[in-house]
Amino acid sequence: MPITTEKDLSENSRKLWLKAKHAVELRNYGYAISLIQNILKEAPGFLGARKDLRKVEIIATKGKKSFLSGLSTASLKGAGMVKKDPNAALELAEKSLESDPYNVPINHLLKDAAKAAGYPEIAAFALETIIEGNPTDTKTMHELGEHYIATGRPDDAVALYGKIVEINPADLKAVKLSKDAAATASMKKGGWDTAQSYRDLMKNKDEAISLEQKGRVVKSVDMIDEQLAELTPQWETAQDNVDLTRRIAKLWEDRLEQQQDRESLDGAYYYYHHLNELAGGSDPAVVRKLSNMDLQRIDQRVKEIQDWLDQGGEHHDEADAHRDELEGLKVQKAGLLITDARKRVERNPTDLQLRFELGEQLVRAHQFTEAIQELQKARQNPNARLKAMNLLGQCYTAKGMLDLAVKQFQEAASEILAMDATKKEILYSLGLVFEKMGKKDDSLKCMKDIYEVDYTYRDVAQRVEQSYGS
């Protein structure tokens, strides 16, 4: 059944609705609740009234649970009414929620009655209320996600599954369902759920056949630009419109996938950043997109600088400034990666591989003191042990603790039998430390060990051959 709006109300109910709004303004909550409950008896599908009623009840009860909250007498009584008279069950549920709006069994009664009465939107609202009162109730979140999918709300399902994963990253079911819901949302937006075939979605039949042969469908940049040209002026006059902002942000993101240029990246970042502000940072999917785009923006600038240096900029007057910027960007990127790595460690503090990954990012950001404690723990992981010891040696070297660096490098090198890439890197680093300590013979021995198996490794050949006076 369609949801009732204010314009659908009878003249009497419309008068009651105005009185209820006025009572809320005067903070006469008891009177407002009574008026809205009477309106819902005549117009049970008036979802807007139910939402306002719940807000008033939460304010009136200050969100506290009733001492009867654990009892389910009303829910048991209502369960028998759902099939026979769902509207009566709706009334019973609303009356019971008056003193305890977050009551779980009663909200489930409201959900069941709403489904039976043909109001899926009200059923969703009941589950949303339970989650509002219990923000970590992933079981109810899963139920709501399934309801969203079943009632054609895949975008809401994606956001909800994202919250579940934030609460429990190990919930693989939520991860899978989120991907499925995202795919459904894309199909729905593209008209795939109504077209007889995807050829109906394309003006050029020959292009459709060609794309079918390639096994893919491409949304052209021209098509995206046309939609942006249409929607952007609308957004300029309604910048607080969340749905419109999300649509434009997604279009820029689609354009970025096609173009991989600065304009697309900046556009996607701008609108997702605005969307994040509108949502108050509450949408984890948007937060993740912004985090990824921060990294993309850094990578793009790094590539620009590196290309400039490679194309002759090395000899330019501004080369040093660009190299400094390049180093700063690398540190900035490491800082962003550190934030993500810390979150993973906080969720799984006993995972030594995650400890190593955090330590690795800390080293890249030149945060050597913080890295040491993570790498010392990671060294206990057999799979990360040698890499962790190598990075520890680098940390000690950077902090001027050369004797500790030597010990770390020597121990790591002794555990590697073959002269592989890792051992060559460790021996080279050890040789440099010996050189700093003035131990030229020890340094040369490290270089010779590498020279014997890999003449081309870094500047080893030059170092060794110069020692013979050649």
Question: What is the 3-state secondary structure of the chain?
Answer: CCCCCHHHCCHHHHHHHHHHHHHHHCCCHHHHHHHHHHHHHHCCCCHHHHHHHHHHHHHHHCCCCCCCCCCCHHHHHHHCCCCCCHHHHHHHHHHHHCCCCCCHHHHHHHHHHHHHHCCHHHHHHHHHHHHHHCCCCHHHHHHHHHHHHHCCCHHHHHHHHHHHHHHCCCCHHHHHHHHHHHHHHHHHHHCCCCCCCHHHHCCCHHHHHHHHHHCCCCCCHHHHHHHHHHHHHHHHCCCCCHHHHHHHHHHHHHHHHHHCCHHHHHHHHHHHHHHHHHCCCCCHHHHHHHHHHHHHHHHHHHHHHHHHHHCCHHHCCCHHHHHHHHHHHHHHHHHHHHHHHHHHHHHCCCCHHHHHHHHHHHHHCCCHHHHHHHHHHHCCCCCCHHHHHHHHHHHHHHCCCHHHHHHHHHHHHHCCCCCCHHHHHHHHHHHHHHHHCCCHHHHHHHHHHHHCCCCCCCCHHHHHHHHCCC
Average pLDDT over residues 256-267: 84
**pLDDT recorded at residue 416:** 86
Structure confidence by residue, pLDDT tens digits, 191-216: 444 444 444 444 444 444 444 443 33
Please say if the pLDDT value at position 66 is more than 80. no
Structure confidence by residue, pLDDT tens digits, 428-450: 999 999 999 999 999 999 999 99
Q: Specify the range with the lowest mean pLDDT, choosing from 137-151, 228-242, 278-292, 441-455.
A: 278-292
**pLDDT recorded at residue 425:** 93
**pLDDT recorded at residue 441:** 94
